[in-house]
Structure 1
Amino acid sequence: MPGPLTASTVPAAQTADVELYVEVQHFYARQMQLLDTRQCAEWAATFTEDGVFAANGLPAPAEGRAAIGAAAQAAQDRLAEQGLVHRHWLGMLAVERVDDTTVRARSYAVVLQVPLGGEPALHRSTVCEDTLVRGEDGALLVLDRRVTRDDLA
């Protein structure tokens, strides 16, 4: 019976992809926790200056880090006024290295809505498709995000 799959047992050509996969997962965990804890400026800083956030549930894409941050802050303010908390859960992540500085990532994103003092409920089921790029410091940033809600055509 083979042993556990570890970095030392993965063929060398796949090791870099495993490391990239883990890096992207960590990026999303940090990014979504920033949004869910209403740290909108910090969340927006995970996008490039010219980043785009487009969703079929929004009237128009938010273009540029400042617009993305302002839209996130407005949404978080509405949630706070309504006594609601959102928790984003990303899973079924697929990662593709395009080149040394660009990565494509596709995941299912589920949003749970929790009313203060109430029961959590599924709010949205979506597909999230990102183009990630390396910033000057080598960290991943979102250049383009496309969110498709499952309940909309």
Structure 2
Amino acid sequence: MSLTTLTPERLRAGIEQFYARHLHLLDDGDAEAWAETFTEDGVFALPGRPEPTRGRAALAEGARRAHAERRGSGETHRHWHGMTDISPRDDGTVHVRCYALVVATPRGGDPRLHRSCVCEDVLVPVGSGWQVRSRRVTRDGF
């Protein structure tokens, strides 16, 4: 895929579709498929962690562990990305900055806002889609 051939509308639609699939995989607990949406050497930096998570195997393990913890607690998490600012770069990557919300719903209970964050990704085109090269999350109030 070449960024020069995409209209801004098609670029936005493709990236929004990428995030929809990406976050559904995470929330559904499909850790391996979710990790495949990162480059092989993808990096994920979260607040409160001394080092970023690096590589698909580590990303999948972290997602598996987090999903198991949520299931064990009887809570469902849904991730939502919005207010997405998409900036193509000269090197063929796309910088995406968005607000990321996590809604937590306990079994039999009411949903509540669990986290409000800013997510900054560098996406690279792969075939007709995208992969995350790097992600940095900053949590509001952290």
Q: 1:130 aligns with which of 118, 121, 139?
A: 121
Question: Which of 31, 34, 51 is 2:25 aligned to?
Answer: 34
TM superposition outliers: structure 1 runs of 4+ over 4 Å: none
Q: Measure, in 2, the Cα distance between the counterparts of 1:142 and 1:151.
A: 25
Q: Which residue of structure 2 lines up, in the alignment, with residue 49 of structure 1? A: 40
The SS at the match of 1:113 is: strand
Q: Residue 40 of structure 2 aligns to which amino acid in structure 1?
A: E
> Would you say 1:21 and 2:12 are equivalent positions?
yes
Give the gaps of 5 or more residues in structure 1: 1-12
SS of the equivalent of 1:32 reads helix
Match of 1:58 in 2: 49
CA RMSD of aligned residues (A): 1.5
SS at match of 1:30: helix
Secondary structure in 1 matching 2:80: strand
SS in 2 for 1:144: strand
1:3-52: CA deviation from partner (whole Å, max 9, x where unpaired):
xxxxxxxxxx9x71121111111100110011011111111100000000
Structure exhibiting the larger radius of gyration computed from Cα positions = 1
Q: 2:133 aligns with which of 110, 126, 143?
A: 143
Structure 2 unaligned residues grouped into runs of 5+: none
Using the aligned pairs only, state the percent identity: 46
**Equivalent of residue 83 in structure 1, options 44, 65, 74:** 74
Q: When the two structures are superposed, what TM-score results if normalisation uses the length of structure 1?
A: 0.85
Give the Cα separation in 2 of the matches to 1:129 and 1:54: 10
Alignment pair present for 1:109 and 2:100: yes
How many residue pairs get matched? 138
Q: TM-score normalised to the size of structure 2?
A: 0.92
Distance change >3 Å, CA 59–CA 118, structure 1 → 2? farther
